[in-house]
Chain A
Amino acid sequence: NAGVMQNPRHLVRRRGQEARLRCSPMKGHSHVYWYRQLPEEGLKFMVYLQKENIIDESGMPKERFSAEFPKEGPSILRIQQVVRGDSAAYFCASHPDRAEAHRAEAFFGQGTRLTVV
């Protein structure tokens, strides 16, 4: 049973370019969270998605950031026109159906480390 898969593991972008981060949840999980971790800081919630639905995007910056979780394929976190302040580790987590969520742990992917140069 493969865990949460994120790719790429490392991504370098020049200022102004676009970054696309991918996340495939664990088999059987239909809920995906994205978190950002700045250097020396804790994880900050960004967005919560189910298949084909954005449920809670209250942690997403208002501009340049978007997320999707299509019916087929991985969840994508997209950052347009990246700036140096976007450099961080971006973690994806998945867990089972919401009904069981309060008893279940969230499983994290290994993260994508974005560096903007």
Chain B
Amino acid sequence: RKEVEQDPGPFNVPEGATVAFNCTYSNSASQSFFWYRQDCRKEPKLLMSVYSSGNEDGRFTAQLNRASQYISLLIRDSKLSDSATYLCVVTFISNFGNEKLTFGTGTRLTIIP
């Protein structure tokens, strides 16, 4: 089983629609959770952290369910500029004492005009 699993997509969504991505992780000792965004041939950039209580940043809402080891990202009123690959990132403290970021393979989103 992969450490972090995501539906690779692609998700082709009309502009203005709402889209949701899911991510599951296998390590119950995982400590921190993030969604990163990666544009084509660019570096990943932090979109938002994910907290157990759920958090919202404008049109973006992230949820964490530790019991089910499940993370979600909801994008409302999608814009053309939201087209990108969304990476689910989970961290845990490795045997070497470092925080190890583990990436999902990403979900590709294309917003259609």
A residues with CB within 8 A of B: 31, 33, 35, 41-45, 48, 55-56, 58, 89, 91, 93, 95, 98, 101-103, 105-106, 108-111, 113
Contacts and interface: CB of A to CB of B under 8 A. Distances in A.
B87 A102 contact: no
Contacts of B54: none
Contacts of A43: 44, 87, 103
- For the residues of A in contact with B, the DSSP-based class is strand
Contact of A48 (B31, B34, B43, B100): B100
Interface residues of B, number: 24
Contacts of B49: 105
Contact of B101 (A58, A89, A93, A110): A93
Given A56-B98, A103-B32, 8 more contacts: A42-B103, A48-B98, A48-B100, A95-B99, A101-B99, A102-B31, A108-B43, A113-B41
Given A43-B87, A105-B46, A109-B43, A98 B102 contact: no
B113 interface: no
Nearest to B92: A102
Nearest to A113: B41
